A and B are shown apart, each in its own frame.
Chain A
Amino acid sequence: MQIQELGIAVLWTFLYGYLIVASIDFGAGFFAFYSKYTKRDQKINRLIQRYLSPTWEVTNVFFVFFFVGIVGFFPDTAYYYGTALLVPASVVLILLAIRGSFYAFANYGSKESTFYVFLYGATGLLIPAAMSTVLTVSQGGFINETESGVFFNGLKLFTNFYSWTVVILAIVSVLYISAMFLLFYADKARDVEAVGLVRKWALFWSVPTILASGLVFFGLKSQAAWHYENILAGNWWWFAASFVFFIIAVSFVYLKRNYGLAFLMVMGQFFMAWFGYGYTHLPYILYPYIDINGSVVNESMAIALVIVFILGLLLLVPALYLLLRLFLFDNDYVRGKRSSGKA
């Protein structure tokens, strides 16, 4: 494997990590608001808080890690995406800022405010919607480079049908992944009431998720023919495997069993779809301007980045394991038998 392929694989894996943990977080925000609004928050929100409070900061780092890493490995991305995406990325930043700080205000601060929870829930759906448009942009057609600089056709993106199907897919998958995780967590907490409610959410959101996936898949043909052809050229099996994982996950939930395994299947479903999408997107990071083979950072820096990355992982993996053990795999904690020990 060449250094640029290793680099993009590492970054893509981190983005996958973000996709999973952030979806849980974003969806949970929406569910927290929804259940508060419908006055069912007693059980559910406590559960959501038990998981989220110690982990929300970690979620954010996955994102930071990705955008710092990609500029490190492929400095051209800063130039093209940076110039073009000033407005949409600033909007994402503002939403992220509102979300993160108001989560802390609502949970660590003293005020029980429905307004704070509303902000938290609303931004949970707007952020993935806004972020997903970058995926559409990366497939080409919305950024032009002329002699006076790089320009972004925001209006074209806004009125593009395919771009909206990606947005819809992002939102419904967030709710689907989050509901599936909460189902697993509620089951672990032996919270029968919560399981009943969350199971309905999980089943409900599985339908639009798979429909929207299909829509995006076929929409690709007219939007980015080069990408669609890459998929047909022997890479369709990624998506077929993803569909199989989906069927197994939903079947488990329907049969009311193995919720832990079901969530693993959801992770598998998105793993195959995400890496299939990423693999067939290569060699372009931005069609047709950024090609991984032509824009990788100089070799000594790339090697240094890879070394630091490996050393960093040696530090992070045990730390993450400790976090999961204490707050996700500790049955007493999950069931609320153990004090949250909040300061």
Chain B
Amino acid sequence: MFNDPVFMSRSLTGLTLGFHVIFATLGVGIPLLILLAEFIGIRRSDEKYLLLARRWSRGYVVTVAVGVVTGTAIGLQLSLLWPSFMRLAGQTVALPLFMETFAFFFEAIFLGIYLYTWGRFKNPWYHLLLGIPVAFGAIMSAFFITATNAFMNQPIGFDLVDGKLANVNPIEAIFNPAMPTKMAHVITSAILTAAFVLASIAAFHLLRRNDLSHEGVHYHRRALRLTMTVALIFAMATAIIGDFSGKYLAKYQPEKLAAAEWHFETSSEAELILGGWLEQDGEGGYEVRGAIKVPYALSILAGGLPSYEVTGLDEFSIEDQPPLYVHYLFDGMVGIGMLLALIAFLFVLGNYIRRLDSFHPWMLRAILIGGPLSMLAIELGWFFAEIGRQPWILYGLMRTGEAATTSSSVGWMFILFLILYAILGTVTVSVLIKMFKKNPIQKELDRNEKTGESFFEESSNEGGTSS
């Protein structure tokens, strides 16, 4: 295995993307939440919301740094590990990749400006305006990079002449049928996840309430109200788009849906399978055991009607089928998504009904685990989407095995990058924890009280950069 360039290339790509996606997801979602907090803060002259925006952006910049370097790594690894694929894809997907770097450029420029101009303008709305391109650039980069990935799932917009791509229509290639659902699902789930991760931090502090002053409790409660409201909206959006994605798969990539749902034989009135395991019977077929089966649900998911005929795996030859374990990835993703929506719904409901306490310890515990779970769902979702289109790198056009590099050193590079990510991951977490431990919320609230100055006029003296 270690000497197999195809297997090791897949592993290394999966490793880099799996690590990058943590930071990329936060990168898409957090700027929007920072802007919302700043907006509410300025609007209501509420310094606690402004402090939220500042503290979030302080932590955010550390995650951006790791996101940038791992993003650079995957960008170059595409050519290093999949040279034949990039040679072919360069003809068609270069445009969205290129546009992604523009969006990234735009975001990078304004992020630098946004972070270093707190207190520089008399009118606080100017500072908020500078943050808009950051959030916009972040979402646009997700848009373009997902369009690239969607093309790999649904390559259209060219003619195949003697094994070479000709008459390429870049616009058609970007706006391929897979693009709308993929793009919408990636962006909404990223915002959902970012909201849950930030909520998880606030819940953690509220659970250790004894350490907090009255003011501190209010600060974290504001954080929870904002993040959970955002989470509820985007959980619903993610679920609706998830349904569209199911219909898309049924039409364009039926074997991915069939593998996810262990739907072996084409049939109408198909049932949805939750959980369970597979047992091989004597004739090489499979038997689903221990699963919850929801009648008609798969037909409804795939086509909107119980009578919809769902294509089964039997219509694909064995070498064109994705591995069957993608079922667990799919179930994990959907299950966590539903759970997150429920948590957010209960919290928001509790805010409106007087007799319910949305800050009950059990609610807080649920939110606390919701953060890591949401990130897990992102990973599961990506692994499902990527492994689900095996054996193809370009669906129906180029097999993964033909695209990988021939170099024999990929195994060693895998080990090097594994060490790198282990170090980066550990140091990032410890730096973030130290950063906020050294400067607890109470200190900042007190300082603000003492000086009696507003955040936008006060100049922060951290790092001794002020005269």
Contact = CB atoms under 8 A, between A and B. Distances in A.
B98 A86 contact: no
A82 B75 CA distance: 12
Nearest to B90: A75
A323 to B, nearest CB: 5
A104 B466 CA distance: 19
Contacts of B65: 57, 100-101, 103-105, 108
B62 interface: yes
A58 to B, nearest CB: 5
A308 B95 contact: yes
Most buried by A among B95, B99, B108, B434: B108
A149 B82 CA distance: 13
B342 interface: no
Contacts of A74: 90
Interface in A265-307: 297-298, 300-301, 304-305
Interface stretch (A226-234, A241-249, A333-341): A333-341
Contacts of B54: 343
A274 to B, nearest CB: 21
A322 B111 CA distance: 12
A72 interface: yes
A104 to B, nearest CB: 3
Interface stretch (A46-54, A167-175, A196-204): A46-54
Interface in B388-417: 405-407, 409-410, 412-413, 416-417
B91 A301 contact: yes
B97 A72 contact: yes
Given A78-B87, A111-B431, A297-B91, A342 B465 contact: yes
B398 to A, nearest CB: 13
Contact of B459 (A46, A60, A100, A339): A339
B102 interface: yes
Interface in B215-251: none
Range for the number of chain A residues in contact with chain B: 35 or more
B326 to A, nearest CB: 29
Nearest to B420: A94
A90 B92 contact: no
Given A101-B65, A301-B92, A82 B434 contact: no
B80 interface: yes
B41 to A, nearest CB: 13
A255 interface: no
Given A82-B79, A97-B73, A109-B435, A339 B112 contact: no
A288 B258 CA distance: 48
A342 B455 CA distance: 12
B454 interface: no
B465 A98 contact: no
Given A75-B94, A97-B424, A58 B108 contact: yes
B170 A71 contact: no
Contact of B466 (A53, A71, A336): A336
A93 B72 contact: yes
B267 interface: no
Nearest to B421: A97
B364 to A, nearest CB: 27
B72 A63 contact: yes
A57 B416 contact: no
Interface of A: 46, 49-50, 53-55, 57-58, 60-61, 63-65, 67-69, 71-83, 85-87, 89-90, 93-94, 96-105, 107-111, 148-150, 297-298, 300-301, 304-305, 308-309, 312, 315-316, 319-320, 322-323, 326-327, 335-343
A90 B414 CA distance: 10
Nearest to A300: B168
A46 B464 CA distance: 9
B113 A81 contact: no
A150 B376 CA distance: 39
Given A57-B112, A64-B75, A86-B81, A304 B406 contact: no
A82 B83 contact: yes
A149 B87 CA distance: 14
A301 B172 CA distance: 11
A343 B57 contact: yes
B4 to A, nearest CB: 15
A86 B407 contact: yes
A110 B413 contact: no
Interface in B66-86: 66, 68-73, 75-84, 86
B420 to A, nearest CB: 5
B330 to A, nearest CB: 32
Nearest to A323: B109
A1 to B, nearest CB: 20
Given A49-B465, A58-B105, A305-B94, 20 more contacts: A46-B465, A53-B112, A53-B115, A57-B64, A58-B112, A61-B105, A64-B104, A71-B86, A72-B94, A75-B86, A77-B79, A86-B409, A87-B407, A109-B435, A305-B95, A323-B112, A339-B461, A341-B117, A341-B460, A342-B460
A304 B308 CA distance: 41
Nearest to A316: B105
Contacts of B97: 68, 71-72
Contact of A316 (B77, B102, B115, B459): B102
B40 to A, nearest CB: 17
Contacts of A297: 90-91, 94
Most buried by B among A67, A76, A89, A109: A109
A105 B435 CA distance: 10
A60 B98 CA distance: 15
Contacts of B109: 58, 316, 319-320, 322-323
A32 B51 CA distance: 32
Contacts of A305: 94-95, 98
Given A79-B83, A110-B435, A337-B467, A72 B90 contact: yes
Contact of A340 (B94, B116, B416, B420): B116
B120 A105 contact: no
A135 B117 CA distance: 39
10 tightest A-B contacts by CB? A75-B90, A72-B94, A104-B65, A339-B459, A82-B83, A54-B112, A78-B86, A340-B465, A82-B79, A109-B431
18 contacts: A68-B94, A68-B98, A71-B79, A75-B86, A78-B86, A86-B405, A96-B69, A96-B72, A97-B424, A101-B428, A109-B432, A111-B434, A297-B94, A300-B170, A308-B99, A320-B109, A323-B112, A340-B465
Given A58-B108, A308-B98, A67 B83 contact: no
Nearest to B117: A341
A79 B82 CA distance: 8
B195 to A, nearest CB: 20
Contacts of A323: 109, 112-113
B283 interface: no
B463 to A, nearest CB: 6
Contacts of A93: 72-73, 76-77
Contacts of B80: 82, 85-86, 89-90
Contacts of B58: 108, 343
Contact of A83 (B83, B112, B459): B83
Nearest to A330: B120
B113 to A, nearest CB: 6
Interface string B444-467: 000000000000000111111111
